[in-house]
């Protein structure tokens, strides 16, 4: 708890503070049966600029507030883009917002993906389920900076074909030169002609030069652990593996301790971490 007691509160306040800005939903797009993507614009001022991997706290008046990753293009500051799955009271309320309705936004918050670590190397993004939302800004960034990277690959796994997030976009990326996309599902009907199996099976075949690869992972924690193991087995240094973690968040700025994981406050020190910094903590049940 010592980290919590030594917080620099004025600095935290500058990085978003506790006061939400009012945004309006400009467009609402259904992605999956339980997921929507909202494009939101502030009532005053320019939309926030952000780095891939950062998140905001979204507040629905009278219901509550949740942390949501920014899933838009960091190079396109027209609107704040976020994809939300309806699982509980607040996320259901966010998903239920109609175009023109308002909500509160705090942020951007959190430590971004260290995309600069991939300069001159192969970049592999490994995402599971909704984990494609926090990693999509990396892909936008990588496509805009292709000259700085040796190659880009996306390894994506989800439960079933109807749970493939951003499916049209994945299809478009798969025909983009210099970008390899591998998709697998846990189970599928006979009409699915794609791959069935776990995401980790795709990692080794898609690696070009493990010693020169930086990997960024987001999805269920069990998937990320197995993916990190598969990368290590194939020869990727664990220091070159980064992942994004989720814990229940309240303040989002390092004040309340709700998101503590061992010595880390995920909202302040994460959500993106180098794998060695959290590897042992991830194996402790219910930490």
Ligand X SMILES: Cc1cc2nc3c(=O)[nH]c(=O)nc-3n(C[C@H](O)[C@H](O)[C@H](O)COP(=O)(O)OP(=O)(O)OC[C@H]3O[C@@H](n4cnc5c(N)ncnc54)[C@H](O)[C@@H]3O)c2cc1C
Question: Which residue's C-beta sits nearest to ligand X?
Answer: 88
* Residue 243 DSSP SS3: strand
Judged by CB under 6 A, does residue 16 bind ligand FES? no
Of 114 and 257, CB closest to ligand FES: 257
Which of ligand X, ligand FES, none has residue 68 at its interface (CB below 5 to 8 Å by kind)? ligand X
Contact 170, 154 (CB under 8 A): yes
Among 123, 251, 278, 282, binds ligand FES (CB under 6 A): 251
Could you say which of 164, 249, 278, 282 contacts ligand FES (CB under 6 A)? 249
Q: How far is the CB of 65 from ligand X (least distance, A)?
A: 8
Which residue is associated with the tokens 């049940």?
A: 285
Q: Does 74 bind ligand FES (CB under 6 A)?
A: no
Told to check if 261 binds ligand FES by CB under 6 A, we report no
Q: Pick from ligand FES, ligand X, none: which does 257 bind, CB < 5 to 8 A by kind?
A: ligand FES
Using CB under 6 A as the binding rule, whether residue 256 contacts ligand FES is answered as yes
226 binds ligand FES (CB under 6 A): no
Asked if 173 is part of the footprint of ligand FES (rule: CB under 6 A), the reply reads no
CA–CA distance, 246 with 261 (Å, rounded to integer): 10
Report d(CA 71, CA 39) in Å as an integer: 10
Q: Could you tell me the smallest distance in angstroms from the CB atom of residue 253 to ligand FES?
A: 7
Enumerate binding residues for ligand X (CB under 6 A).
55, 66-69, 83-85, 87-91, 130, 133-134, 246-247, 249, 271
Place of tokens 């998903």: 95
Cα(186)–Cα(190) distance, integer angstroms? 13
Give the per-residue SS3 of 158-182.
ECCHHHCCCHHHHHHHHCCCCEEEE
Cis check: omega of the bond before 15, within 30 degrees of 0:
no
Q: CB of residue 118 vs ligand X: minimum separation in angstroms?
A: 21
Cα gap 129→156, rounded to integer Å: 8
Q: How many residues bind ligand FES (CB under 6 A)?
A: 12
Tokens 């891939």, residue?
52
d(CA 266, CA 269): 5
Q: Which of residues 263-282 bind ligand FES (CB under 6 A)?
A: 265, 267
Best CA proximity match to 166, nearest among 49, 77, 81, 65: 81
**Of 9 and 30, which has the nearer Cβ to ligand FES?**
9
Q: How far apart are CA 27 and CA 237, in angstroms?
A: 41
- Closer residue to ligand X in complex, CB, 32/230: 32
Residues forming contacts to ligand FES in the complex (CB under 6 A) are 249-252, 254-259, 265, 267
């Amino acid at each position: 708890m010592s980290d919590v007691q030594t917080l620099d509160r004025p600095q935290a306040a500058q990085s978003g503070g506790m006061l939400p800005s009012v945004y309006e939903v400009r467009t609402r797009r259904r992605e999956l049966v339980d997921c929507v993507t909202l494009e939101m614009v502030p009532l005053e001022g320019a939309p926030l600029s952000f780095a891939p991997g950062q998140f905001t706290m979204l507040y629905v008046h009278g219901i509550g507030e949740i942390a949501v990753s920014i899933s838009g293009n960091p190079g396109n500051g027209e609107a704040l883009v976020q994809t939300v799955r309806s699982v509980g009271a607040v996320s259901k309320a966010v998903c239920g917002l109609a175009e023109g309705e308002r909500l509160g936004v705090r942020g951007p918050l959190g430590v971004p993906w260290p995309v600069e670590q991939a300069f001159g190397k192969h970049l592999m993004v490994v995402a599971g389920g909704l984990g494609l939302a926090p990693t999509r800004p990396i892909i936008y960034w990588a496509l805009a900076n292709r000259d700085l990277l040796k190659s880009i690959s996306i390894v994506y796994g989800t439960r079933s074909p109807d749970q493939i997030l951003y499916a049209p976009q994945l299809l478009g990326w798969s025909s983009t030169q210099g970008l390899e996309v591998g998709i697998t599902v846990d189970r599928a009907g006979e009409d699915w002609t794609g791959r069935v199996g776990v995401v980790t099976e795709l990692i080794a075949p898609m690696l070009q030069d493990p010693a020169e690869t930086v990997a960024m992972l987001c999805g269920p924690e069990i998937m990320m652990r197995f993916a990190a193991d598969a990368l290590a087995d194939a020869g990727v240094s664990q220091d070159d593996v980064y992942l994004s973690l989720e814990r229940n968040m309240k303040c989002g700025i390092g004040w309340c301790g709700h998101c503590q994981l061992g010595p880390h406050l995920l909202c302040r020190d994460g959500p993106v971490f180098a794998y060695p910094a959290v590897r042992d903590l991830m194996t402790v049940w219910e930490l």
